[in-house]
Structure 1
Amino acid sequence: MSATAKLDPVVEVFVDALNAQDADRFYGVLAEDATMSDNGVEHNIAPWADAEIFSSNGHLEVDTVEQDGLAFAADFTNSRGGSLPTTWRFVVDNGLISRFETGQA
């Protein structure tokens, strides 16, 4: 079984959309007022996602899944920073991600 098979279904859509570079699906799984942080710094999601994911070919390779599929460790690769070990944590409310936090592991 792949690590993504253990993810919460909403988080799995997030990961699949990120890896497919599918911005519509990525934003479609986020609550309208979703928030996020990267290495403890709050960011507006759209500019962050454009820089870190969509304009730099971001890709996640999930390694381990925790907290009932709402957290995982992954190698995150993009053309800006290469490959980094990262952690990701999610809050899912009413079928949408209301918050995610990522950072270097």
Structure 2
Amino acid sequence: MIAPSKLSDPAVRAFVTAVNAHDQAAFTQLLTADASMSDDGSDRDLAEWTDKEIWSSNGHMDVVSESDGGHRLIVDYRNDTWGEMRTAWRFTVTGEGRISRFETGQA
């Protein structure tokens, strides 16, 4: 596993840290105003998805590996709804260091 503090990209590092700390305010500050996301290839409503899959179900990310300058992760993700699964995450980070899009799905 890779400790969140060792992740290469500062925005992705902060994303993982916020999810694991259940810090919704810090998470929201990382995203652009028009941020979007997809799950298993389908675009989702970001607020609804994060509430269901992260905040209300105690989501947690254990990073297995990173690539593409820290913008791609393989994660053992767990929450109270689905248990644990191996997932892939891809992040689009703006020049200002904010996340404009993330994509996740089973790895």
TM-score (norm 1): 0.96
Q: How does 1:17-32 map to 2 (within 5 A)?
A: 17-32=18-33
Counterpart CA distance in 1 for 2:19 and 2:7 is 17
Sequence identity, in percent?
Answer: 47
Which amino acid in 1 is paired with 2:88?
T
Counterpart CA distance in 2 for 1:40 and 1:2 is 26
Question: What is residue 45 of structure 1 aligned with on the other side?
Answer: 46
Structure 1, unpaired ranges of 5+: none
Q: How does 1:4-19 map to 2 (within 5 A)?
A: 4=4, 5-19=6-20
Asked whether the 8 Å contact 1:3–1:63 carries over to 2, the reply is no
Question: What is residue 105 of structure 2 aligned with on the other side?
Answer: 103
Question: What is residue 2 of structure 1 aligned with on the other side?
Answer: 2
Counterpart CA distance in 1 for 2:101 and 2:8 is 16
Which amino acid in 2 is paired with 1:95?
G
Asked whether the 8 Å contact 2:2–2:65 carries over to 1, the reply is no
Asked whether the 8 Å contact 1:65–1:73 carries over to 2, the reply is yes
Q: What CA deviation, in whole Å up to 9, does each residue of 1:26-69 have, x standing for no partner?
A: 11100000010000010111110000000000000000000000
Asked whether the 8 Å contact 1:59–1:76 carries over to 2, the reply is yes
What count of residue pairs does the alignment treat as equivalent? 105
TM-score (norm 2): 0.94
Question: What is residue 80 of structure 2 aligned with on the other side?
Answer: 79
Deviation for aligned residue 1:3:
4.8
Structure 2, unpaired ranges of 5+: none
Which amino acid in 2 is paired with 1:30?
L
Asked whether the 8 Å contact 2:8–2:70 carries over to 1, the reply is yes
Counterpart CA distance in 2 for 1:67 and 1:35 is 20
